Structure 1
Amino acid sequence: MASSKSVLHIITELGRGGAEHMLYKLLSAMDGNLANHHVLSLGSGGPYAEKIRALGIPVHELGMRMGRPNPMLLLRLRGLVRKLNPDLVHGWMYHGILAARLAAQGRPVVAGIRHSIYKLSSEKFATRLVIRAVASLSPSLAALTYNAHLSLDQHRNIGFSSKKACVIPNGFDPDRLRPDPKVGARLRAELGVQPDVFVVLHAARFHPMKDHKGLLQAIARIKDRNMVFLLAGTQVDSGNPALSGIQDDRVYLLGERDDIADLMTAADCLVNSSWSEAFPNVLGEAMACGLPAIATDVGESAAVLGGTGLVVPPRDPEALAKALVQMKDMPQEQRIDLGKRARQRVIETFSLSKVASDYLASIKMFWMPTAGDGPKDVQEKEFLVHVRNRGVYQLAGRSGWGRADFAHHDRCGAPSWPR
């Protein structure tokens, strides 16, 4: 029996990205009998639009062009919200959050922030304006969810309310993401990579913060010819002028791929060279596939690895090169053990079923009123009960994640955790 309750998810776009991927994973993992879901993209098209529709979930597209605000589209959005009449509106990413708040018309709005901000001035001017607008509206939001503790701290420092803020990490499906030597061998053969060659995978769209430049500088420092580097992601191909001049035949530019999980089974390790991250999805996916990883010490990367991989400073090609060589020269048994421990860590701490359950619990409170309380009081009371007792993950030191101990709160009202 379908639920009479509904959630409208408003997201900037449905192209390839971490937020889009996580929205899709959550929708695929949640029980449709507990809530009906609709998704609205401020843009149009994108691979995740079709994937979400394939789940039987309606996807609405506004057709907005980013950087060109159109007041008429806001009127259309408000009209659609009135028509759908959701019990809750969930905004994803800054533009989606702002649109959700402006269109909700009194309905509770949950903000999903999946971005880290090391320096606000590094963001595009238009994005900075949207971030400032969301910060000013944040006290009126029903809840703010982050996928990384660092992200929560950073946003609080630039003016975001922390009264109803919590951290729910990315989740991964260990039944879908798993080691598969047969698939790995097939892909190696297709790429012309010999079985005894050490394969490093880097999977990220081409963007300055992903630091492909630093990765290539690290590769240039490595003289070992028995290594290849598979670089996959949007615009990571020979058509990109920044990459077209690469002369190193150990570097494979694979472009945009739908089979990243399969590529992971063909690799010996994953490398993430970013200088800015919150909680990188690719790291958790590699761990679920039993792949040891090298990550830069940004966002929650070191805590996610929890001792199952290598961590290097960001923007340090020399350190990255040394880590790549160290991983390659490590005894195979040790690398395999790291991969097994990484997969077990995902199963125990970041499983998609657990994260989806906690996410659902965090939104159900907004349509479960208590006698004698007003709607606003109910939301705040239930949210605080939830973060104390159920679904918020907090960082238990650098070594791992665990349920929060909410014996103390900081002066802003946000849960505190041991550092």
Structure 2
Amino acid sequence: MTPVSSHSPHGQSPLRTVQVLGGGNAASSAHVRSLAAGLVARGVKVTVCAPYEADRAYDFSGIGADHVHVPRSSDPVSVAALRAACANADLVHAHGLHASFRTALALSGRRVRTPLVVTWHDRAHADGARAHMLRVLERRVVKAATVVLGTTSALVDRARLTGARDARLAAVALPGPRRPREPDDPDRRRPKVRAELGAIGRPLLMAVGSLERHRGYDVLLDAARAWRRLDPVPLVVIAGEGPLRGELQGRIEEEGLPVRLVGRRDDITDLLAAADLALLPSRWEARSVLAQEALHARVPLVATDAGGIPELVGDAAELVPYGDARALADSVVRLLGDRERRELLADRGARQAATWPTEDETVAQVLSVYDELTQPQPLP
């Protein structure tokens, strides 16, 4: 990344931007950190509005951005804090539905209209009355946004159907590790991880993500019943935390399933590198971090044919219908018994990963949108 002393579409002072993050998920938080670092390196002044815990986890201040604490709430105090932080901004960029809604409230009623860019990283998941409320928030957000960036074509289409004036496909990179890893021999590290997880002499199947309904872990447990008849029995490890932990753990114990819940982990790269297969049984995903990391790591992936997954992985994964436990189980059994197919998917995964945007390309695209929205328009 080549630093630039000052990026100024106005030819006067550096562009002043505010990035608004609602505390959000790991993918959007890592994206904001990567984006902020790239913008700062190009001479853009960046303020990140996010809860204290987000700054502690992602150290926005450490890459040269200013951090302003804004709680994950739409109460008047939070909106007022956000309004004050955006007072002198040339452009505001909000990430995620709830952060975007708060930002729309904060920018409303201003005499001078500040361009608002909104990135939809994923779709909000809810049922019943809450789903209706989320649709109302979506309409309010797209009405206020100057440009909506969607991380998948499906999200771009959804924004347009909801009423967005300008919706575009966003370039979003998988950010690299924030700290260099200690040098280690991967051939030595892999057996250590497998031993820790209890996967010595048996296949290791890895799933990662919050323990929530839309992740499809109930389907994964259904599929795990079929794997009990294999010899050796594969071990399914699920890394993540969430409200369904008790329900899932109860099923695992009651049915004697070969599944371990290991909670939230910060060594996902090592876990994936030790796995024989990665599993993604979700009802809907946008640019799944697990899918991206699996393909980067040359780990064969079995995923649902839903959301942005087909667009993301192309022919580099085995895709099965969502909710079809038999199809998931059968696909895993076939792959475990077909070394050539696993090697083919590993090769395809590496090629597919090479087509995804880099962090530099992501920053460049966003900056081109910023320039478009902040440069003085020529007189007719």
Q: Same fold (TM over 0.5)?
A: yes
Deviation at 1:260, TM superposition (A): 0.9
Match for residue 371 of structure 2? 364
Match for residue 6 of structure 1? 16
Whichever residue aligns with residue 188 of structure 1, its letter is R
Output aligned runs, 1:230-249, within 5 Å. Answer: 230-235=237-242, 240-247=246-253, 248=256
> What's the TM-score, normalizing by structure 2?
0.84
Give the distance between the partners of 2:210 and 2:341, measured in 1 at CA.
Answer: 30
Give the distance between the partners of 1:47 and 1:59, measured in 2 at CA.
Answer: 7
Matched, 1:255 2:269: no
Match for residue 409 of structure 1? none
Matched, 1:210 2:212: no
Deviation at 1:181, TM superposition (A): 3.8
Give the distance between the partners of 1:187 and 1:47, measured in 2 at CA.
Answer: 30
Match of 1:154 among 149, 153, 158: 158
Deviation at 1:283, TM superposition (A): 0.8
Give the distance between the partners of 2:325 and 2:197, measured in 1 at CA.
Answer: 26
Output aligned runs, 1:408-419, within 5 Å. Answer: none
Give the distance between the partners of 1:228 and 1:320, measured in 2 at CA.
Answer: 15
Match for residue 199 of structure 2? 193
Matched, 1:170 2:179: no
Give the distance between the partners of 2:206 and 2:104, measured in 1 at CA.
Answer: 39
Match for residue 10 of structure 2? none
**Are the equivalent residues in 2 in contact too, given 1:172–1:346 (CA < 8 A)?**
no
Match for residue 414 of structure 1? none
Residues 281, 94 of structure 1: CA spacing in aligned structure 2 closer, same or farther, 3 A cutoff? same
Residues 151, 326 of structure 1: CA spacing in aligned structure 2 closer, same or farther, 3 A cutoff? same
Give the distance between the partners of 1:165 and 1:120, measured in 2 at CA.
Answer: 25
Match of 2:148 among 139, 144, 151: 144
Give the distance between the partners of 2:55 and 2:235, measured in 1 at CA.
Answer: 29
Deviation at 1:261, TM superposition (A): 1.3
Give the distance between the partners of 2:129 and 2:353, measured in 1 at CA.
Answer: 32
Give the distance between the partners of 1:92 and 1:285, measured in 2 at CA.
Answer: 22
Residues 293, 35 of structure 1: CA spacing in aligned structure 2 closer, same or farther, 3 A cutoff? same
Matched, 1:34 2:43: yes
**Are the equivalent residues in 2 in contact too, given 1:45–1:61 (CA < 8 A)?**
no
Whichever residue aligns with residue 81 of structure 1, its letter is C
Residues 193, 49 of structure 1: CA spacing in aligned structure 2 closer, same or farther, 3 A cutoff? closer
Deviation at 1:98, TM superposition (A): 1.9
What do residues 94-149 of structure 1 show as CA deviations (whole Å, max 9, x unaligned)? 121122223233211001112237988574454344223224x24xx221100011
Matched, 1:283 2:285: no
Deviation at 1:168, TM superposition (A): 1.5
Residues 357, 63 of structure 1: CA spacing in aligned structure 2 closer, same or farther, 3 A cutoff? same
**Are the equivalent residues in 2 in contact too, given 1:92–1:113 (CA < 8 A)?**
yes
Matched, 1:336 2:338: no
Match for residue 292 of structure 1? 300
Identity of aligned residues (%): 20
Residues 181, 308 of structure 1: CA spacing in aligned structure 2 closer, same or farther, 3 A cutoff? farther
Match of 2:235 among 201, 211, 228: 228
Match of 1:100 among 103, 106, 121: 103
Match of 2:359 among 334, 349, 352: 352
**Are the equivalent residues in 1 in contact too, given 2:55–2:67 (CA < 8 A)?**
no
What do residues 184-207 of structure 1 show as CA deviations (whole Å, max 9, x unaligned)? 23311322322x422111001011
Match for residue 17 of structure 1? 26
Match for residue 306 of structure 1? 314
Q: Give 3-state SS (helix, strand or coil) of 2:218's partner.
A: helix
Residues 80, 236 of structure 1: CA spacing in aligned structure 2 closer, same or farther, 3 A cutoff? closer
Q: Give 3-state SS (helix, strand or coil) of 1:45's partner.
A: helix
> What's the TM-score, normalizing by structure 1?
0.77
**Are the equivalent residues in 2 in contact too, given 1:2–1:36 (CA < 8 A)?**
no
Give the distance between the partners of 2:219 and 2:34, measured in 1 at CA.
Answer: 31
**Are the equivalent residues in 2 in contact too, given 1:152–1:165 (CA < 8 A)?**
yes
Give the distance between the partners of 2:126 and 2:193, measured in 1 at CA.
Answer: 40
**Are the equivalent residues in 2 in contact too, given 1:275–1:296 (CA < 8 A)?**
yes
Structure 1 stretches lacking a partner, 5+ long: 374-419
Give the distance between the partners of 1:147 and 1:352, measured in 2 at CA.
Answer: 14
Match for residue 81 of structure 1? 86
Give the distance between the partners of 2:72 and 2:288, measured in 1 at CA.
Answer: 27
Residues 231, 321 of structure 1: CA spacing in aligned structure 2 closer, same or farther, 3 A cutoff? same
Deviation at 1:44, TM superposition (A): 4.4
**Are the equivalent residues in 2 in contact too, given 1:236–1:256 (CA < 8 A)?**
no
Match for residue 66 of structure 2? 58
**Are the equivalent residues in 1 in contact too, given 2:272–2:278 (CA < 8 A)?**
yes
Whichever residue aligns with residue 335 of structure 1, its letter is R
Residues 115, 121 of structure 1: CA spacing in aligned structure 2 closer, same or farther, 3 A cutoff? farther
Matched, 1:91 2:122: no
Residues 301, 152 of structure 1: CA spacing in aligned structure 2 closer, same or farther, 3 A cutoff? same
**Are the equivalent residues in 1 in contact too, given 2:223–2:325 (CA < 8 A)?**
yes
Give the distance between the partners of 1:370 and 1:213, measured in 2 at CA.
Answer: 54
**Are the equivalent residues in 1 in contact too, given 2:211–2:243 (CA < 8 A)?**
yes
Match of 2:276 among 259, 265, 268: 268
Q: Give 3-state SS (helix, strand or coil) of 1:24's partner.
A: helix
Q: Give 3-state SS (helix, strand or coil) of 2:114's partner.
A: coil
| Alpha-carbon RMSD | 2.8
Match of 1:109 among 97, 100, 116: 116
Match for residue 335 of structure 2? 327
**Are the equivalent residues in 2 in contact too, given 1:202–1:230 (CA < 8 A)?**
yes
**Are the equivalent residues in 1 in contact too, given 2:241–2:264 (CA < 8 A)?**
yes
